[in-house]
Amino acid sequence: MSELDTQIRKFQKELSAGTVSLALLAVLAAASEPMYGYQIAKRLEREGEGVLSGKQSALYPVLRNLSAAGLLDSHVEPSASGPPRRYYRITAAGQGVLHEWTIAWRATRDSVDSVLEGLTHERA
């Protein structure tokens, strides 16, 4: 693996550490009914690269921790195809946190964008 690849991977990993939580909350806030791990993974997969440039197995521990923090509610239902599935739904606390995180995310995105724009102007 080249030095550049290593740097890209490392950056993606650091970037996804916080944004995956945000993306999961957003997906569950938009969902009309509770979703289980696999469904959520597939839903995010459709959004393409970006947050999910890593592997989908990374989502499960995050779901569990969001649930432990009270941002998600969960219940188990038996399934015909495998072990009982755990369904997640966003809580009121989760909605509140999502709102704050969204504001924080937009502010970060805008400021990073404007810094990056300065870079392209300088180059040009």
Least Cβ distance, residue 36 to another protein (angstroms): 7
Given a contact cutoff of 8 angstroms between Cβ atoms, the answer to whether 73 and 89 are in contact is yes
51 makes contact with another protein (CB under 8 A): no
Strand ranges for 1-124 from DSSP E: 35-36, 72-77, 85-90
57 makes contact with another protein (CB under 8 A): yes
10 makes contact with another protein (CB under 8 A): yes
Among 47, 53, 65, 104, binds another protein (CB under 8 A): 65
**Region from 1-9, 27-35, 99-107, 113-121 binding another protein, contact rule CB under 8 A:** 1-9
Q: How far is CA 10 from CA 7, 34, 96, in A?
A: 5, 33, 31
* Residue position matching structure tokens 């599935």: 85
Q: How far is CA 108 from CA 10, 15, 115, in A?
A: 20, 12, 11
Rule CB under 8 A: which residues touch another protein? Answer: 1, 6, 9-10, 13, 17-18, 21, 36-39, 41, 45, 54-58, 60-62, 64-66, 68-69, 79-83, 85-86
